[in-house]
Structure 1
Amino acid sequence: MAKQVCDLAAGKGISVSQSDEHLRKARTAVKNKSWSGNYDPTREHLNFEVVKGGIVKNIDKSKSIPTRIREILKARGILDPNIGLDKPRYRTVANFILGGSRGQMHRLAFGNQTVILDPGSDNSGITRMKDIEDWAVDMYNFMSKKYGEKNIAAFIVHLDETNPHIHCTILPITEKNKFSWKKVIAGADKFEYRDRMLKLHDELAEVNKKYQLERGDDISRTKAKHRTLEEYHQWEQKELRNKVAKQRITIKEQEDYIINISSDIKRAETKLKGLTTMISNLETIHAEKQLEIDKLQEKLAAGGGDYNGLIEKIVNLKKELKNIEEKLDDKQDKLKKAKTEIGSLILQKDDNEKINLDLQEKQESLVREIERTTLNLQDREMSNMESLALDHFRQSRNSQIKKAEEYEAGLNENERKIIDNYNTAVFGGSPVDDMAAKTNEVVAVATALYFGYIDQAIKFATDHGGGGGGNLPSDWGKKDDEDDWAWRRRSFGMALHLMKPSKKRNLKR
């Protein structure tokens, strides 16, 4: 039976970039190109969302998920605890991914229709099945009952990716209209959190029974390790590389097998040729002996020669003829077997050449998939870093505007004439200027640091005018208890540090 999927990730809010991807709202050509590698544009029209009351409708792209959250909080008179903080500290969003094994999810979403998953395929003729809508509504009702329908900020169903799934955005708000990750989601400690998650999976499995999806094994018994989305993509890429390596071994084995079969065919053909020659020679001898017997019998019938001598010769020739016929029968039988053997070997060779060709095509497809996933992973992270850069730039600009207003408030009419000095005092040499001029460079360095390419990040920074921020800490790396967005923000901060103008100092790792 197919397995259900339920993944949970905490968030200290949700970025516009994340929202755009969930809603498939590409604001730039770069994002559109990046996303096109992760999903099938010809199936995007199959996506939908479930809204209040369990109503299925097309995805509303007019409002981002952050906007939806703000409207929910405003209507309920709830303050986002992260507003006003330099860095968000509170987990205000629970990001659930709901799904199941690919085969069963495809049956629910597409029925008996064949969906071609190769990049660039045209699946525009595929239609959405009602089963996937029923499943999504049941999932919506389950999450509504579990966490409160009014706490569901978005419930998006994606049918345009490899495996159909749901992105459910939950606000961890209590009945008293207060944000509390522990009370709503996690519990008091890790033990209660584990119990809650076990219960969640058990309860979800009861709903999923009707859709032939069963609960997966408890990771406390299987010792499986939870992976974040980024870790999953990196693991997926590693698996693809392993598949390519195994394919190469299999292809080499197939090629060796084909060489051996070709040698067997060559030997069988030589044997066949030898048998054919032998049979031809025996048939010639047989004809000569038969002709000799015929002549002796004619002579015997005419009464010429030694009667007893002629009879003896005929008897001996018939014995030779019988011996030749026995040899002919043996060679004919061997010839028949040799022909059968060659036919079988040729079929085997043809089949294995087809298999090898198919393996080579699959290998080429896997190599293309690796290249695509590598670019997608990099593009995805560049997009995330661009989102951080935009937030950083906006916050820095707001801070500068506030300083500007304070500065301007203290100027009289005459002093306003020195506005140039004012601009220099407020904005000159600020991080805002550096950020505006070096956004792309900072994003590139941050992305390299995020993926662990430390030497490349340092070299890029120094080659593009950075290097004034000092050395990178020797213990630089992702901490065991650090989530992806915290690690991403730290990488971005370090990138800003590395991209400070150089004072002719050499960076060392």
Structure 2
Amino acid sequence: MNTDIKQAMHVEACKSFGTSEANENERHWDEDKIDRKNQDPTNHYDKTRMKLNFEIGPDGKIHPLGYQKKSLEVRLQERLAELGWKPFKPDSKIQPNCCAKFIFGGNHDRTLEMAFGNQTVNLEKDADNGLLHRCEEIEHWAKDVHEWCARRYGQENIIGFQIHLDESSPHIHALIVPVGIRPKSSRECVMWSAKFGKDRFEYGRILREMHTSLYEEVGSKYGLDRGDSIDGRNVQHLHKREYIRKLTKEAKQAEKAVKGLQTMMRKLEQELLTGRNRLKEIDEALASGKITLDKYEAQKADIQKLISDYQVKLDDKTGKLQVKEQELEQLTKDAAKACSVIQPFRNHKVDFTPPQITEKVPLFGTDKWIERQNRLIAKQFTEIVCKIESLYRSDAARQVEATQRNILADYGELYQLRKDVKTLIENNDELKSTLETMLDQLANPSLRSKIFAIADALAGGTPAVISSGGGGGGNSDSDLRWDGRRPDEEEDAYRRRCLKAAIIVVMRSSKSHGRNR
């Protein structure tokens, strides 16, 4: 028998909340509806105990269930409207979270004891528990949980707080709107991340802290221990192959998000560079008298505003990129761990009755009686041993299967590594060939002087025109597209880049001349 007396808390993100859920929480049902509900073997709604259900109102006091004039979903919509909630379009596949659904409970026997004390509760379907009365301890516990929620989320954001005593175990349903402060306007708004984190790692940390806080402030007063940690639950609840597939899918999604954020950041950096170059251009235009001071100040203000907006967006994308990179790193580690770890043998607990002698010793034929009893005991003992052996044989087969899968995974990784090595060797050969060509160019005195002239021109910011056609005259068409010095680029790095670009241009030019000749 399980003797653990623990608290329980479940949190579910909710994108919408309908009338059927509201009716269930507030028990706006007639008897026909209850009977239809109980046709499902997993449901157990006791009509004789429904009068004992209650809720805690905004005043923090005990009230009959469903006493408020406005229904639960209407109250939710009104609070969302107060906060300026604007969901996405109805046909959008992605919708934000607007509320959190909590369920608070605990050990079955302990919660029944809090609700009904020493009274006998018949949990069979269609049982008559009409003589039961509600004990004060369950009300005190519900009030303490309500105060705990109010401290964390604000009383005005608790839309509903219903306590059900008509099911198998007493429990609480709480509907709460997560509210945060908008950074720019400092106004309150619906914000899931403000209360439950920006990603699943932060959510896990917050959830662990919530369990601890609930135990310290409420559960410990009522003999309810802190719930077990949820760390690693997915590995146990999912088949290993499914878990690895899930991690791989999430890692691909995170990698795709990282690449998308990197692309957006590059575009924003390019826009910032364009804006700064535009500022330089109007500075030069003002100095040369091409534009008036009024026009200069107007253009400068517009450009600076654009630069400021781009910088804000860039900072936002940088923060999101860091979060996604951490998420991708953790997913990669989890996947690698799942592929390599073999689960240990389980400590099986086999329920059996020890072999016993149940017959009295006869006055006559004692030897035959002893022989018969020994045969019965041996049979029972053999059955027990065979059962234990079967369990551990199954575990051994599972170990062998896991080892074989790991070997296949290792072979796949080895194959991928060989491909990577081959690619690196090819890239290395290509780079080596390019380096030798560059050295040949530098060894030629005429090309060397040309390379250094172009490199000096680039480093000094002077335009350098290299003909893309044959002949020695040159024209206005240039193979060189130069973006100038990049923001925060070191002097030495910039000069090396100038030299490299000059060598590439001369190499292309010399090849073109060779073809023309």
TM-score by length of 2: 0.43
Q: Which has the higher helix share?
A: 1
Which of these two proteins has the greater Rg computed from alpha carbons? 1
With CA pairs under 8 Å and 6+ residues apart, which has the higher RCO, 1 or 2?
Answer: 1
TM-score by length of 1: 0.43
